[in-house]
Amino acid sequence: MVPSAPGKRNDRDIKVTDMLYSCYAAAEAGEEFKPQLRKIKDRFDAIINGLHLKTSLEKEFDTIAENFKNKAGTEYAASRGEYLNGIIMADYLGYTFIDAAEVIFFNDKGEFDAERTDKILSARLKKCERAVIPGFYGAKKDGTVHTFSRGGSDITGSIVAKAAGADLYENWTDVSGFLVADPRIIENPRVIQVITYRELRELSYMGATVLHEDAVFPVRKAGIPINIRNTNQPEDKGTLIVENTCHHSKYTITGIAGKKGFVAVNIDKDMMNSEVGFGRKVLSAFEQSGISFEHMPSGIDTMTVFVHQEEFEGKEQQVLSAINRLAKPDTVDLEADLALIAVVGRGMRSTRGTAGRIFSALSHANVNVKMIDQGSSELNIIIGVTNDDFETAIKAIYDIFVTTQL
């Protein structure tokens, strides 16, 4: 069992992790922080009382107060929500509590040490049949607490599943699995029953956020499937994430996801295709400014580089100067306020006319397509539209592949 920290009880509530950040900031600034710490303790005491337990966290909070006073670090502070929740969960279930700092390891640079973790964690788990290990954090060689990025309990769960040699990693959250599309755009979108790791990677990168995208790597290497389940609706089967499957999706596509806020840098130069190293020269202009590109569709005498607008705006003149200096193009044009939409699905490989249906749907919805990009795997099609057309485009694609098949 790998718990995260307590979240919001209602829309106006504050997550415990955010309370801990605020409390530690006060301690670090030399301000009075104990009233804030008492509020955090009250949250945990409410959980203990609600479960009718006799668990006491007095000593734990005394230790936390002392460590806050001694400025133990932001990561230590952030990890205490999972740590304390783990103690309560272990007491409630009658399981062995294992502090993640004793079994999840990072090197001095803060990089996850998979080999050492797997060796020590596997040996520890062999000694107990049932355990609770807090998510989100571990420790460096010197014992200093180090955390994964927010949502990192998903990663801990995956690491523990691999170390335990599990048949299945169940990830319990507040939704009944991955949805075909964003519920903020599509009303009551369908749940994806089975999805492959490659499809998941494409959708997660483009904005689907049910599972931390780094959580797939430990279990994928071990061939362990992930089952996303709903804590509030345990009877729902959720979504099964697998390496490969012969299971046919109900629809041609598996899912739709996208992001707003891109800029297209359009570069024209006659005889570009015959100039060796032209693409490298253009991309080096972005590299010099520390900007990564998202997509790069090209023609005979043209190429377009899509980059994040927020990242690009502050360095645009620097990049444009470098492109002109290094690649000597005929023209360079910019088009801002664009969105990218990924239509993903293993079923697209064996279904004719998928792209035609997408663009027919967008045409009927009066959406102007700015860019088309398809990988050689035929697993996804990336479409560029204006930010204003983003929601309309997703609705049109969902309707043509899902609604019309219901």
pLDDT above 90 coverage of the chain, percent: 72
Contact 195, 140 (CB under 8 A): no
Contact 294, 326 (CB under 8 A): no
pLDDT at 298: 86
- 406 pLDDT band, cuts 50/70/90, is low
- 348 pLDDT band, cuts 50/70/90, is confident
Write out pLDDT tens, residues 59-100: 999 999 999 999 999 999 999 999 999 999 999 999 999 999
Q: What is the mean pLDDT of residues 333-338?
A: 95
**Can you tell me the distance from the alpha carbon of 16 to that of 5, in angstroms, rounded to the nearest whole number?**
6
Which residue segment(s) compose the domain that 229 sits in? 173-242
Strands (E), 232-345: 239-242, 255-268, 302-308, 331-344
Residue 4 lies in a domain: no
Contact 216, 241 (CB under 8 A): yes
**Can you tell me the distance from the alpha carbon of 360 to that of 399, in angstroms, rounded to the nearest whole number?**
12
pLDDT at 131: 97
Write out pLDDT tens, residues 373-395: 876 666 889 999 999 999 999 99
The one-character DSSP state at 189 is P
Pick from 135, 109, 122, 215: which is nearest to 163 by CA? 122
Query: What are the C-alpha distances in Å from 69 to residues 64, 301, 316, 360?
Result: 8, 63, 44, 63
Q: Where is the domain boundary, 124, 145, 165?
A: 165
| Phi then psi dihedrals of residue 204, to 5 deg | -65, -40
Write out pLDDT tens, residues 115-160: 999 999 999 999 999 999 999 999 999 999 999 987 778 899 999 9
pLDDT at 211: 76
Q: Which residues pair with 308 in a beta bridge?
A: 262
The per-residue DSSP string of 222-254 comes to: HT--EEEEETT-TTS--EEEES---PPPSSS--
Q: Up-side HSE of residue 286: CA atoms within 13 Å toward CB?
A: 22
Q: Where is the domain boundary, 110, 141, 165?
A: 165
Q: What is the mean pLDDT of residues 10-16?
A: 92
Based on the fold, state whether residues 237 and 116 are members of the same structural domain.
no
pLDDT at 36: 96
Would you give the distance in Å from CA 352 to the centre of its chain? Answer: 32
Based on the fold, state whether residues 401 and 259 are members of the same structural domain.
yes
Write out pLDDT tens, residues 241-292: 998 887 777 788 889 999 999 999 999 999 988 899 999 999 999 999 999 9
Pick from 212, 210, 190, 185: which is nearest to 345 by CA? 190
Q: Where is the domain boundary, 193, 211, 242?
A: 242
The total number of structural domains that make up the chain: 3
Q: What is the CATH number of the domain that holds 358?
A: 3.30.2130.10
238 pLDDT more than 90: yes
Write out pLDDT tens, residues 162-201: 999 999 999 998 888 888 999 899 999 999 999 988 888 7
pLDDT, averaged across the chain: 91
Based on the fold, state whether residues 27 and 100 are members of the same structural domain.
yes
